[in-house]
């Protein structure tokens, strides 16, 4: 596997001048006032009370989303009544058996998919395997190459490489920007991360998907860092296959099951490399011969993890009445404001943004390179600002628009400035 390219960075120069949007001075007090104004005008602010939060600023929802407050009672009911009282009857009476498709249909509108295209289950890693192998089968003979995102979260790369060995495909790791020039009549598919886990860079899903299709190849997207943070438009942009996790911006809980999207036009020919009994046309026939079910169910494998899955189903209630376009608008406003505050508060030269300034290239996180990042993140967390560290030098801050407000953003940047002043440059 080729080396991941070093993330480009942009210096965050000192400003202290006028702010482009508000006309207020970027002084600490004006930024606090600006935050208050932005919070007052924020239509999504009311959703914050749906989550269990404390007085820390939680900017790690891009790793593990916060707990929706109603989930514990729902899970308690699943355990005590559905499992405790109904026992085996719950596969039917409590809807356990059909949960993977039903919950897939709840995720579908958030990522721009129609009904019957998403099935929930397994981990993202396992779904990457299903998508890559099934994608090579859909692409057919004569296409002997897989392109894979060199900047990917590692698990996708490991799995794609193993899948390529099993299927006999050559695998080429490259920066997604290089895909249009690299794709050829030999390419079966490309596997790309929609938003880069480290830099927060958003890839051009419509453009790359179209470039792959122009060469007859399939587009397979990993949506872990975009689902629930921005519109994806799976159906609209003709994506072939996609996978994603549900524990980040979808707040499904630690280890909550992932999902697999199969475009409607591919469902008849989708040939899973893990054809377990749950994807059989007649699972309780228990016949030796495998016969695939119709539709998204083909992506199922074995018995679903019901407790995690039903916690996820409950968590998805927070999306009722929420438009993903509004979430995106607030996400961009939050990350813009964070960059503005960091410019105002961070000592010059101590941090550099690895996250693109251009909105069309930015996900819902800001990554700051900092030579003292490990010590700085430890101290930030100690002072109540929770982001995370990606070694060796990336401070990562994720912004979940349903529960992060502008006052949180101002406080996080202010505390970051204090920490940077207290921890001397190496």
Ligand X SMILES: Nc1c(O)cccc1C(=O)C[C@H](N)C(=O)O
Ligand Y SMILES: Cc1ncc(COP(=O)(O)O)c(C=O)c1O
Write out the catalytic residue numbers.
153, 222, 247-248, 396
By CB under 6 A, name the one of 224, 263, 296, 310 that touches ligand Y.
Answer: 224
Would you say 225 is a known binding-site residue? yes
Binding status of residue 197 toward ligand X by CB under 6 A: yes
Q: Give the shortest CB-245-to-ligand Y separation in angstroms.
A: 5
Which of ligand X, ligand Y, none does residue 169 bind to, with CB < 5 to 8 Å depending on kind?
A: none
Cis peptide before 392 (omega within 30 of 0): yes
- Other CB atoms within a 10 A radius of the CB of residue 151 amount to 22
Q: Would you say 90 or 226 has its CB closer to ligand Y? A: 226
User: Do 204 and 185 touch, CB atoms closer than 8 A?
Assistant: no
Number of residues that bind ligand Y (CB under 6 A): 13
Q: Give the shortest CB-286-to-ligand Y separation in angstroms.
A: 29
C-alpha 90/C-alpha 86 separation (Å) is 6
By CB under 6 A, name the one of 34, 50, 63, 263 that touches ligand X.
Answer: 63
User: Do 50 and 69 touch, CB atoms closer than 8 A?
Assistant: yes
By CB under 6 A, name the one of 153, 270, 397, 406 that touches ligand X.
Answer: 153
Q: Give the shortest CB-62-to-ligand Y separation in angstroms.
A: 8
C-alpha 414/C-alpha 190 separation (Å) is 41
Which of ligand Y, ligand X, none does residue 399 bind to, with CB < 5 to 8 Å depending on kind?
A: none
Would you say 221 is a known binding-site residue? no
Binding status of residue 221 toward ligand Y by CB under 6 A: no
| DSSP assignment letter at 25 | B
C-alpha 261/C-alpha 381 separation (Å) is 36
Binding status of residue 399 toward ligand X by CB under 6 A: no
Binding status of residue 51 toward ligand Y by CB under 6 A: no
Of 124, 115, 120, 106, residue with least CA distance to 318: 106
Would you say 153 is a known binding-site residue? yes
195-201-206 Cα angle (round to 5): 60
Binding status of residue 397 toward ligand X by CB under 6 A: no
Q: Over 180-216, what HEC string results? A: HHHCCCCEEEEEEECECCCCCEECCHHHHHHHHHHCC
By CB under 6 A, name the one of 7, 90, 124, 187 that touches ligand Y.
Answer: 124
Which of ligand X, ligand Y, none does residue 199 bind to, with CB < 5 to 8 Å depending on kind?
A: none
Which of ligand Y, ligand X, none does residue 155 bind to, with CB < 5 to 8 Å depending on kind?
A: ligand Y
Q: Would you say 4 or 167 has its CB closer to ligand X? A: 4
CA distances to 132, 174, 224, 380 from 4, rounded to whole Å, are 20, 9, 19, 28
Binding status of residue 309 toward ligand Y by CB under 6 A: no
Which of ligand X, ligand Y, none does residue 337 bind to, with CB < 5 to 8 Å depending on kind?
A: none
Would you say 125 is a known binding-site residue? yes
Which of ligand X, ligand Y, none does residue 412 bind to, with CB < 5 to 8 Å depending on kind?
A: none
3-state secondary structure of 346: coil
Residue 42's contacts (CB-CB under 8 Å, 6 or more residues apart) are: 330, 405, 406
Residue 393's contacts (CB-CB under 8 Å, 6 or more residues apart) are: 369, 370, 371, 373
Structure tokens at 394: 């990336």
Would you say 273 is a known binding-site residue? no
Binding status of residue 245 toward ligand Y by CB under 6 A: yes
User: Do 336 and 203 touch, CB atoms closer than 8 A?
Assistant: no
Would you say 97 is a known binding-site residue? no
Number of Cα atoms under 13 Å in the Cβ half of residue 116: 8
Which residues, numbered 152-211, are part of the site for ligand Y (CB under 6 A)?
Answer: 153, 155-156, 193, 197
Residue 219's contacts (CB-CB under 8 Å, 6 or more residues apart) are: 189, 190, 192, 205, 208, 209, 212, 213, 238, 239, 240, 241
User: Do 211 and 183 touch, CB atoms closer than 8 A?
Assistant: yes
Q: Give the shortest CB-63-to-ligand X separation in angstroms.
A: 5
Which residues, numbered 246-265, are part of the site for ligand Y (CB under 6 A)?
Answer: 258
User: Do 241 and 263 touch, CB atoms closer than 8 A?
Assistant: yes
Binding status of residue 340 toward ligand Y by CB under 6 A: no
- Footprint on this chain of ligand Y (rule: CB under 6 A): 123-125, 153, 155-156, 193, 197, 222, 224-225, 245, 258
Residues in binding site: 124-125, 153-156, 222, 225, 247, 277, 303
Contacts with ligand X by CB under 6 A lie at 63, 153, 197, 224
Residue positions forming the annotated binding site for pyridoxal 5'-phosphate: 124-125, 153-156, 222, 225, 247, 277, 303
């Amino acid at each position: 596997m080729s080396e991941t390219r070093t993330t480009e960075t942009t210096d965050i120069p000192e400003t202290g001048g006028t702010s482009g949007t508000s006309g207020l001075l970027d002084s600490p007090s004006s930024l606090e006032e600006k935050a208050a104004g932005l919070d007052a005008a924020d239509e999504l602010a009311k959703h914050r009370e749906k989550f269990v939060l404390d007085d820390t600023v939680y900017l790690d929802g891009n790793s593990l989303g916060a707990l929706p407050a109603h989930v514990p009672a729902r899970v308690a009911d699943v355990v005590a009544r559905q499992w405790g009282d109904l026992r085996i009857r719950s596969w039917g009476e409590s809807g356990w058996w059909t949960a993977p498709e039903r919950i897939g249909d709840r995720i579908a509108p958030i990522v721009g998919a129609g009904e019957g295209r998403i099935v929930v289950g397994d981990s993202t890693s396992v779904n990457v395997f299903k998508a890559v192998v099934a994608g090579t089968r859909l692409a057919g003979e004569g296409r002997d190459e897989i392109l894979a995102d060199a900047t990917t979260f590692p698990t996708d790369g490991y799995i794609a490489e193993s899948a390529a060995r099993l299927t006999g495909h050559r695998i080429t790791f490259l920066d997604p920007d290089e895909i249009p020039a690299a794709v050829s009549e030999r390419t079966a598919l490309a596997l790309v991360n929609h938003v880069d886990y480290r830099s927060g860079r958003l890839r051009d899903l419509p453009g790359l998907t179209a470039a792959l299709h122009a060469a007859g190849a399939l587009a397979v997207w990993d949506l872990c860092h975009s689902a629930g943070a921005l519109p994806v438009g799976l159906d609209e942009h003709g994506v072939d296959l996609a996978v994603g996790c549900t524990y980040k911006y979808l707040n499904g809980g630690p280890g909550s099951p992932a999902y697999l999207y199969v475009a409607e036009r591919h469902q008849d020919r989708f040939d899973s490399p893990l054809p377990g009994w749950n994807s059989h046309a007649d699972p309780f026939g228990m016949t030796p011969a495998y016969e695939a079910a119709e539709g998204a169910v083909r992506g199922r494998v074995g018995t679903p993890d019901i407790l995690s899955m039903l916690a996820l189903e409950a968590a998805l209630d927070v999306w009722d009445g929420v438009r993903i376009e509004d979430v995106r608008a607030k996400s961009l406003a939050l990350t813009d404001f964070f960059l503005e505050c960091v410019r105002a508060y961070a000592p010059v030269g101590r941090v550099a943004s690895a996250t693109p300034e251009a909105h069309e290239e930015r996900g819902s996180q800001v990554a700051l390179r900092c030579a003292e990042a490990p010590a700085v993140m430890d101290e930030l967390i100690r002072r109540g600002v929770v982001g995370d560290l990606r070694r060796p030098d990336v401070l990562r801050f994720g912004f979940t628009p349903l529960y992060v407000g502008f006052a949180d953003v101002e406080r996080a940047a202010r505390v970051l400035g204090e920490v940077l002043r207290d921890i001397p440059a190496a």
